[in-house]
A and B are shown apart, each in its own frame.
Chain A
Amino acid sequence: MSKPSPDDRRYSREHEWAKDNGDGTITMGITDYAQEMLTDVVFVELPETGKKVKQMQVVAVVESVKSVSDVYSPVSGEVTEVNRILEERPEIVNQDAFGEGWLCRIRMDDPKELDSLMSSSRYEEFIKDLKH
C-alpha cells in the first residue's frame, strides 16, 4: 500500500507532486504510488539548474531495473535547484518519495498553473480508479 498523499501540495495525472514553497518556487518529485509502480529505482537523471521547462514537459528521468520513466514538470518555469544526492543514492526515491526523494525546485512562470493540478483527495481518487 502506498503512503497517503500529503494535502500540502498538488498532483499531476503523471504522478508528480508540486509543493508551493511560498517564495515563487515549487519543490517537485514523484508520488509514492509512482515509486511503488517503478520499484527499485537505480538511476535518476536530473536537469541542469537554469533549464527552462514548460508545464508537462519532461524534466527528469527515473530508471528502475526493469524500466525507464519520464518525469514531467508540473509547472512552467526555471529549474533553480536539483537534489544531487539522488545521483549517488537513487533508492531514496523509493524510501521517501514525498520527502528526501524530491527531484528539483522550479521558479514558477505562472503560479496559477498550480490550479490545473489535482488536490490530494482528488489524486487519491484518481489512483484508486487506476488500481481497478
Chain B
Amino acid sequence: MKKTPLYERHLALGAKVIDFGGWAMPVQYTNVIEEHRTTRRNAGIFDICHMGEIEIQGEDAFSLLQHVMSRNLEKQSAGQMKLSLLLNEKGGIIDDLTVYKTAENNYMVVTNAVTKDRDLAWITKVREEKGYARVNLRDITDITGKIDLQGPLAASILEQITADDPGSLGFYSFSRTRVLGNPAIVSRSGYTGEDGFEIYVPADKVGEVWDALLEQGRGRGLKPVGLGARDTLRLEAGMMLYGNEMNENVTPFEVVYGWITDLDKEFIGRDCLLRQKEKGLERKLVGFEMEDRGIARHGYSVTGNDGKKIGEVTSGTFSPTLNRPIGLAFVPFSFREPGTEIRIDIRGNQARARVAKLPFYKRDRH
C-alpha cells in the first residue's frame, strides 16, 4: 500500500488504518460518530494526500479541458474552481473532479485517488487524437500534500498560519498564498457540507502544516478525522462518491450532476447525453431515509411491494446528525419524488424506507 507523508502521524495518533484504493489511510482515530460531530460543531482536519493533482498548462490547455469536461469553463476566471465531470463517449462518468484555474491556460485538476491514472491517460489520449500539441500534463500528486480543514472554526484556525485572510475567500474560490511560509493553494471548499478549506502545500511540508493546524486548534475542539466520518459527512450533505454512486456506466443526469453538465457547448459524451435527455431517464439517484430499523448498505436491493428488485442502494449509513439511517439509491424514474415509499431488502427483510429530499443536512449560514 502507498503511504501519505502523514502516515506515521496517523499511527502515533492511534488511527485505525485501512486500504483505500491502494492507499493506507486512517478510517478513524477514535470513532466515526465523535469525529463526525466534532467536524459539525468545531472543526476537523483530514489527510487528503491520496487524491490526485494534475497540472495542465500551455496555449491549448483551455481548449483541451473545454473538450473533455462536462462543465463550460469559458467564464471561469483565475482564482475560481469548478466542479466538473470527465465523461466517456457514451456520457458515462470517468471521474468527478475540481478544476482550479490559476491563470490563463494554467490549471490544476484535482481527481479522486483511484481514478487519477485513468483520468491522466484519458486526457492524454484526447490531446493526441485532437492534436492539441501546445499543452503539457504533469502528474504532481506525489509532490503535493493536501489537507482539508472543515467546520465552523476552520477559518479562524487557518488564519493563524496563512499570509492572507482565508475568511475573505468566496465559496469555490482559491488563493495562491503561503501557509507557514510555504507556497500553497487554499480554496474555500470541501466534502462535508460545512464551511472549510482545501489546502495544498508541497508534500515535504505537509507534516509541519498538519502539526501547526492541530496546535492552533488545540483547546478549540479541532480533531483529526478519518475516512469513516468523511463518508458520513458527505452523505448527510448529499454529496456523491465515485465508485459508489458513479462509474463509467452512469451518466450525469441519472445522478445529481445535471447542473454541471453544460449541453450548450461541445464536449465528449454530449451526443449520447442529448439522446438520453430526449428519450427520458429510466433510473434516478435519490436520497432515502429508513422508516423501519436497520441500515441499508451499498449493494442492497431496492424492491417493490412484490419483493422484486427495482433498484440498488449505492451508499447507506447511520446519520449522526439525524440520528437515523440514510442513504442514496438508484430507483426507477417514476419513484424519484420525495415521499415515495420504497422497500429495501435488509438481510431478507423488506424494510420500509422513503425517498427524501437532498441534502439531508444543510448548515446554517450566518
List residues of A whose CB falls within 8 A of some B CB: 39-40, 42-43, 45, 61, 63-66, 68, 87
Contact = CB atoms under 8 A, between A and B. Distances in A.
Interface in B305-329: 317-318, 320, 325
A61 B346 CA distance: 11
Interface of B: 27-28, 31-34, 228, 232, 293-295, 297, 317-318, 320, 325, 347
30 contacts: A39-B32, A40-B31, A40-B32, A42-B33, A42-B318, A43-B293, A43-B294, A43-B295, A43-B318, A43-B325, A45-B294, A45-B347, A61-B347, A63-B294, A63-B295, A63-B318, A64-B32, A65-B32, A65-B33, A65-B228, A65-B232, A65-B317, A65-B318, A65-B320, A66-B27, A66-B28, A66-B32, A66-B228, A68-B295, A68-B297
Given A68-B295, A68-B297, A39 B31 contact: yes
Contacts of B33: 40, 42, 65
Nearest to A70: B347
Nearest to A45: B294
Contacts of A42: 33, 295, 318
A131 to B, nearest CB: 12
A23 to B, nearest CB: 31
**Chain A contact residues: helix, strand, loop or mixed:** strand
Contacts of A40: 31-34
Nearest to B320: A65
Contacts of A45: 293-294, 347
B174 to A, nearest CB: 32
Given A40-B33, A45-B293, 12 more contacts: A39-B31, A40-B31, A42-B295, A42-B318, A43-B293, A45-B294, A63-B294, A63-B295, A65-B33, A66-B28, A66-B32, A66-B228
A77 to B, nearest CB: 22
A40 B31 CA distance: 6
A98 B315 CA distance: 32
A106 B320 CA distance: 33
A39 B232 CA distance: 15
A39 B18 CA distance: 15
A45 B293 CA distance: 9
A25 to B, nearest CB: 27
Nearest to B16: A39
Nearest to A37: B16
Contacts of A43: 293-295, 318, 325
Contacts of A68: 295, 297
Contacts of B27: 66
Contacts of B228: 65-66
A66 B28 CA distance: 10
Nearest to B34: A40
Nearest to B227: A66
B164 to A, nearest CB: 37
B163 to A, nearest CB: 38
B366 to A, nearest CB: 29
A65 B28 CA distance: 11
A87 to B, nearest CB: 8
A66 B293 CA distance: 16
A4 B40 CA distance: 35
A39 B28 contact: yes
Contacts of B28: 39, 66
Contacts of B232: 65
A33 B333 CA distance: 45
Contacts of B318: 42-43, 63, 65
A37 to B, nearest CB: 9
Contacts of A61: 347
Contacts of A63: 294-295, 318
B36 to A, nearest CB: 8
B297 to A, nearest CB: 7
Closest 3 CB pairs of A and B: A42-B318, A65-B32, A39-B31
A61 B34 CA distance: 23
A45 B348 CA distance: 13
A55 B320 CA distance: 35
Contacts of B295: 42-43, 63, 68
Nearest to A39: B31
A68 B317 CA distance: 11
A19 B287 CA distance: 43
